[in-house]
Structure 1
Amino acid sequence: MTEPDIPVIRTERLTLRAPKISDFEAYAAFRASERTAHVGGPMDRETAFDSFSALIGHWSLRGFGRWIVADSRSDAPLGYVGPYFPEDWPEPEIAWTVFAGAEGRGVAFEAAQAARAYAYGTLGWTTAISLTTPGNARSMALAQRMGCVREGEFAHQSMGPLLVWRHPGPDAPNPETPL
């Protein structure tokens, strides 16, 4: 079996790592919830498995992708984050999603900062965007907290209008430290 080389990144509280089958139950539960309306859901278990598998496939096809965000102590999955560039996106994105139990604890901010540092430092990106749906207040607030500036809209074929947030470049000062 050929596996993509997915690096592990550790932050103060988190481990960004390759998805593993034991993460699927948390992923499927999240993808079945109404909370996923902003990220293409909800979806049934079979479709969630295809989506979960695509997390690894993206690494194989693009050489980068989204990690599972896990608690460093327990290894419990808290969400997924990372550089993302599907075929129908306008340009590479820093994407973030956290599961319900991880909201409000600075997990998405800490993980997204690590993902952006990887995209700039390791992948050599000089710019990045993040896309949010207009009604996703938490995601828009995170984009602003990360120093992003709203740049316009992108009309996605199936998700509808998405707001484009431009990240500060790799030489810009880092925003506040994680909570």
Structure 2
Amino acid sequence: MDNLLETERLSIRLLNLQDSPFILELLTSKTWLEYIGDRGVKDETTAADYILNGPMASYSSNGYGLFLVVEKSSQEKVGLAGFLKRDELPLADLGFAMLERFEGKGLAKEASKALLAFGKEKWGFEKVCAITTKTNQRSNKLLSSLGFQHVGNFSFYGRLEMMDLYEYEY
């Protein structure tokens, strides 16, 4: 697979339909469901639909989307990271999620740092945002460590809880 970019420990590449088993595992994980929400992925067919209608559609329409994060040493697929275009937000939204067994190893931070630099270089971003739930302390801490500033709260997609909104200015 052609890599979009590489870091010391990670390769980051476009998702493809062969990644459906991984997407099924990630999108049905406890932390994904708790902090991101149910995306209707229940089997490999719905995982493939998610890839086609989410990341791959975003690559075509926006030039960016969520990308697969692979640990170089083991070649294991560890998570997703990238940018989302949301109708409710005026800026590209940095998103990331790792399988639970890879959390706490600095992989989300490493991928996010590389993508922030790539976003400015490739897509000309001057400012991006990120959202997370108030209860997702790991993500809140990670965003702060990357230089994001908390700028407010909002609710979207019919969620009852308020989300924390962060911005990063280059």
- For 2:88 and 2:60, the matched residues in 1 are separated by 18
The one-letter code sitting in structure 2 at the alignment partner of 1:40 is G
The one-letter code sitting in structure 1 at the alignment partner of 2:166 is W
1:162 equivalent in alignment to 2:150: no
Structure 1 counterpart of 2:140? 140
- For 1:42 and 1:156, the matched residues in 2 are separated by 15
TM, length-normalised to structure 2: 0.87
- For 2:26 and 2:39, the matched residues in 1 are separated by 8
Structure 1 counterpart of 2:37? 40
Instruction: Give deviations 1:117-144, integer Å, cap 9, x for gaps.
Output: 1111221111011100111111111111
Structure 2 residue runs of 5 or longer lacking an equivalent are: none
Structure 1 counterpart of 2:68? 68
Structure 1 counterpart of 2:58? 58
Map 1:98-117; keep pairs closer than 5 Å. Answer: 98-117=98-117
Structure 2 counterpart of 1:122? 122
Judged with a 3 Å threshold, the aligned counterparts in structure 2 of structure 1 residues 76 and 159 are, in CA distance, closer, same or farther, namely farther
Fraction of identical pairs, as percent: 23
- For 1:27 and 1:61, the matched residues in 2 are separated by 21
8 Å CA contact 1:80–1:97 kept in 2: the answer is yes
- For 2:51 and 2:135, the matched residues in 1 are separated by 24
- For 2:166 and 2:109, the matched residues in 1 are separated by 15
The one-letter code sitting in structure 2 at the alignment partner of 1:87 is D
- For 1:58 and 1:159, the matched residues in 2 are separated by 23
Judged with a 3 Å threshold, the aligned counterparts in structure 2 of structure 1 residues 70 and 7 are, in CA distance, closer, same or farther, namely closer
Instruction: Give deviations 1:17-76, integer Å, cap 9, x for gaps.
Output: 011333221220121222122112264225433322211111101111121001113332
What is the Cα deviation at residue 90 of structure 1?
4.1
8 Å CA contact 2:109–2:146 kept in 1: the answer is yes
